[in-house]
Structure formats: structure tokens, C-alpha cells
Structure 1
Amino acid sequence: MKVTLAGTESLTNYIAALKANDIEVINTLDVEEALKCDGLLLPGGGDIDPKYYGEEMNGSDEPDRELDKAQWDVLDAFVKEKKPVFGICRGMQLINVYFGGSLYQDLKTKDAHSRKNGVDSVHSVKSIVEDNLFENLYGKEFFVNSAHHQGVKKIGEGLISVLEANDGVCEALLHKDLPIVATQFHPERMSYEQRRDDTVVGEGIFEYFKSLLKG
């Protein structure tokens, strides 16, 4: 099995988590090359240009517009082929925007979600949809890491918000028809060599993604 890891940020932890599941990783933003893979992982990173959800800059950090366009095109190709997609942090936000959703450009409660001195925040999340993937893995309420200042506002068409933080910020999305899973938190930094004592173990999410690759 091969997965396209379409990003430019530090990708070491994503690669390690995928390889721990015996998944070959191809890092490319080329659509033709990407589609040779069985699935797509959209990693974390900087803010998306708000023009993609019809807004002016209003709290977003300066976007990498070249990356926005490249990731959008790769995501579009995988969605049209109905191939599995896993979005993490920025990746989840891009998926939401792709399906017509929008973002809070700067959360009022960002202090509870953003990194401090280079260290992830930790907070609890709760399941808001009965019997969803995450509830089945971790129960109705559990702790995750956090490293973002933006969040999902309007939910994209076909997507279901299944987890929320205590302040109402969306923490995970699933698509009702397509093999798409997305988290606002970073399971790659809660898995394998990156396991931590103050959050759940993120490995089950990667195992679920692997099961999607098998069809």
C-alpha cells in the first residue's frame, strides 16, 4: 500500500506513523504521481488563504498560496476517484473548505488550542455523534493534543462533525459517503515513538485509515 503525503512542513512524524503500519510513503504534490497511490494524507501546516471560503484576511497568518493550490488539486483528484483521504489539523480544515465549509480565522479560545513554547496544548474532547469511530476507540470523552489557532465554522457538505472540544470547536470530521477521516488534533504525535501520557494513543486512527486503503 502507498500513501501520498502532500505537504511541505516537517513530515517526520507522519512518515513514521504510516511506516509503522507498513505503508509506503510518497511525498508529492503532483496530481498524476499522487493518484498512483492508494490514499492521501493531508498534514498540518499554515493557514489556508481565506479566499477559498469567500472571506478576506481577518486573523489568518499569511498563506502559502502555491501550497494551497497544489493541495487543493490533489484533494480534488482523490475525492473524484473516491480514494481514502486522511486530514490532520490544516488537512482537516482544507477538507472542510473543499466541501464548501468555512473557518474561524482566529479562535477566541485559541489559547486553549495553540502550541506554547513549541509544545502542544492538551484538552479534552467529547463525542457528539453516537457510535462514531473515535467514540468506539476512546470512549465518549478523552484527551488529545492541540496546535492550532483556527477552526471549522460552517461544516462542509457531506461532512459530519463527530467530536467537539468543551468550547464547541470541531475536533474531528467524517464524510457520510466517502472514505474520508479528519482530525483537528495530531494523532501522529500521539502514536508509536511519540506516545504521551496525557492523551489517548493515536495509533487506532492510523489503523483505521489503513483499513480504508484496503477497500
Structure 2
Amino acid sequence: MASNDSDPVIAISCYMQRAQWGVWDTEAALIPGDYVRMVAASGGIPVLLPPHGMTPAILDRVDGLLLAGGADVGAEEYGQDPHEATVSHPFRDSSEMMLLAAARQRSLPVLGICRGMQVVNVADGGTLIQHLPESLGHTDYQPAPGVYGEVTVTTEAGSLAREILGEATIAPCYHHQGIDRLGAGLRATGRSPEGLVETIEPDPAVNQTGDPADGGWLFAVQWHPEHDPDDDRVVRALVQAARRHVTGRGTRRAPN
């Protein structure tokens, strides 16, 4: 595993579902290769965490957490009945909520991507718009099955989003849900032209206690930065934060 003078280990949450390869057609633990390639290209060591068999202690062995995209967060997690278009994996919800809480207790850097951003928001008491086409009147954020849309994101001055992305960026997106009410202690620091929340991060006005439970570096985006091999800024920011975390603590240890 990583040490002070080696590349940081980045844990990536992954799917557990049916897949096909070679002569096999069975359940598998998997993640699109884009995530793995970009973490590695950004200087991290990628490891996959399946949504079964995990305990908080696994995060004592890594230096950062990437909550990846995937199925919808279950509506019951934020007190709503599911929309007919909502497709969730409850076992993944519970696993990733646990991993997020454990990472924040340890002040591990956390990056949420697409579903991962929604997990972060719901974990802090926020809610989601369950089907954007009904509220927005279009499907631009998820044009067709397996087809990415494109979103322009404008960032807020003084935010981590501005530091990483500059004033604006264009990125690939693929989602039919979005943030409705923000979770406690979070702020929206990037939005689409029609106001949809595209980046969230801790609100410094709220998270000033120094309590490890407030977490360390946390950033989340609604789009899929891993899908654009020419723009690694978001994933590289996670790896750099993980490297700083390793350097700052000296040696890996469990929280008190």
C-alpha cells in the first residue's frame, strides 16, 4: 500500500451486477475502465471496493475515496417514494453511505462523480430531483442510452471548483436526476446555464469546528470527468489531495 514516498492508493466504489465477458455471463464486481485509467494516469493506485463485504476499517488502508457513478440513489434514502424512472441498488446505497461516513471520520479526501455527488448530498440530508426531463422539459443531460450529453459549468469565485476548473468548463454528462435541496454543510459552487447544481463542496461557513467528522477534502461533480481523457483536472485534484493527506499524517493509522 501507499507510503509517504509512493503514489497514494485511491479506492473506487464499484458495481455488483450481471456482466458478460468471454464465455461468461454472471454477476461481477466492475467499474468502467475510464475511472481506473484516469486515477492511474493522475498518479494514484486504483483499487476497487465492491458493495459487499466492506467495513469501515478498509479505509485505514487507502489514501482517498472516489464514489463512482451508477444507478440512482434509492428515494427512500431521502424520504420519498420512488419515481417510475428511478432504478436503485439498495445494497450499494448502504455500502457507499458507510464508506463516505468512514472516510470523513478519517478526514480522507473524497471525490463524488455523478451518482457519487448525489450520495454525498443525500448523506448530509439533501434531496434529489428524481427525473429531470419532467422538471426541465428536455433530456440533454442524458440524451439516449449509452450516449453522453455535454454541459457547461460556471463556477463560483473563491471555491474549490473555481480553483480546479477555472471560471467555466465544458464536460460530458449522463444523468437523469439532480440535486434538489442541498444537504447540511454543503454549498453549490458550480451550475449549468439553467441553474442545475453541477458541483458541491463543504461550506466553510459551516465546517469550521475542526472535528474530524466534518471530513477533510471533499469535492463532487454531477458530470463524468473520467470520460474525457484530455481533461484530468478533477481526478488529479483528488490524487493530489490524497498525496497531501499521506504527507500530512506521516504514517497510515486508524482514527482514535
Spell out the pairing of 1:1-215 with structure 2 (5 A cutoff): 1-8=8-15, 10-29=31-50, 30-31=54-55, 32-107=57-132, 108-109=135-136, 111-127=139-155, 129-176=156-203, 177=207, 178-191=216-229, 195=230, 201=231, 203-213=232-242, 214-215=244-245
TM-score, structure 1 as length reference:
0.88
If you compute each CA radius of gyration, which structure gives the higher value, 1 or 2?
A: 2
Q: Deviations over 1:139-173 (max 9, x none)?
A: 32332111000001111111110011112110001
TM-score, structure 2 as length reference:
0.75
Letter in 1 for 2:40: K
Q: Percent identity?
A: 24
Shift of 1:26: 1.6
Q: Deviations over 1:13-48 (max 9, x none)?
A: 111011012211121241232331111100000101
- Secondary structure (helix, strand or coil) at the match of 1:112 reads coil
Shift of 1:117: 4.8
The 10-residue stretch of structure 1 (113-122 or 40-49) with the greater mean CA deviation from structure 2:
113-122
C-alpha change, 1:137 and 1:79, in structure 2 (3 Å) is closer
Shift of 1:58: 2.1
**What is the aligned length?**
205
1: distance between equivalents of 2:218 and 2:40? 20
Shift of 1:60: 4.3
Shift of 1:137: 4.2
Contact 1:43 1:91 in 2 (8 A): yes
- Secondary structure (helix, strand or coil) at the match of 2:139 reads helix
Unaligned runs of 5+ in 1: 196-200
- Secondary structure (helix, strand or coil) at the match of 2:101 reads helix
Letter in 2 for 1:36: R
Moved over 6 A (4+): none
2: distance between equivalents of 1:44 and 1:4? 14
Unaligned runs of 5+ in 2: 1-7, 16-29, 208-215, 246-256
